[in-house]
């Protein structure tokens, strides 16, 4: 995992902050130590949305300064919409935000660390790697 780029999804960060799952916490700690962590701005928004207090928001905002913050390219949303459309035509529904994260990861050559099962379906339609 040394030097690899890893995009960590909201589902993992929530689990990590709650420390509910020791194996997830260990994996995140290993990634934090051995890889470059990429965080899309949309993940920050999701974490802030779920915050319980102003203090938690401050912690999240400070926390992200330690990582590579990534944002969409000119056609990221269009690619995500087309991915979702293609999947739906094959009878598979995936959240548009998950399609967006998959496209962002692909655009930035990142592996995705997620607890969301939809990414296994997305992987059948978009060349991405999962942790």
- pLDDT tens digit string along 12-59? 998 888 776 688 889 999 999 999 999 998 999 999 999 999 998 998
Q: What is the DSSP letter of 46?
A: H
Q: Please check whether residue 60 is in contact with residue 51, taking contact to mean a CB–CB distance below 8 angstroms.
A: yes
pLDDT attached to residue 63: 80
Give me the half-sphere count of Cα atoms (radius 13 Å) on the Cβ side of residue 83: 28
Q: Where are the domains of the chain?
A: 5-122
pLDDT band at 84 (very low <50, low <70, confident <90, very high): very high
Distances from the Cα of 59 to the Cα of 17, 35, 62, 65, angstroms: 11, 22, 5, 10
Q: What is the pLDDT of residues 46-78, one digit of tens each?
A: 999 999 999 989 988 888 788 899 988 999 999
pLDDT attached to residue 124: 96
Average pLDDT (101-106) is 97
What is the CATH class of 5-122?
alpha beta
Overall pTM surpassing 0.85 (yes/no): yes
pLDDT attached to residue 21: 65
Average pLDDT (95-101) is 95
- Rounded-to-integer distance, Cα 131 and Cα 35, Å: 12
- What is the b/e burial string over 55-65, where b = at least 16 CB atoms within 10 angstroms of the residue's CB? eeeeebeeebe
pLDDT attached to residue 36: 93
**Burial class (CB within 10 angstroms; exposed 0-12, middle 13-18, buried 19+) of 7:** buried
């Amino acid at each position: 995992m040394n030097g690899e780029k890893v995009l960590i999804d909201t589902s993992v960060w929530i689990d990590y902050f709650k420390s509910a799952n020791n194996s997830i916490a260990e994996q995140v700690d290993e990634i934090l130590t051995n890889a470059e962590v990429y965080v899309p701005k949309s993940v920050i928004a999701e974490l802030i949305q779920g915050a319980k207090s102003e203090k938690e928001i401050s912690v999240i905002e400070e926390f992200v300064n330690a990582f590579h913050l990534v944002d969409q390219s000119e056609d990221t949303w269009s690619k995500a919409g087309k991915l979702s459309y293609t999947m739906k035509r094959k009878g598979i529904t995936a959240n548009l935000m998950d399609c967006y994260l998959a496209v962002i990861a692909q655009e930035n050559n990142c592996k995705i660390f997620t607890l969301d099962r939809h990414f296994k379906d997305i992987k059948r339609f978009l060349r991405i790697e999962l942790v």
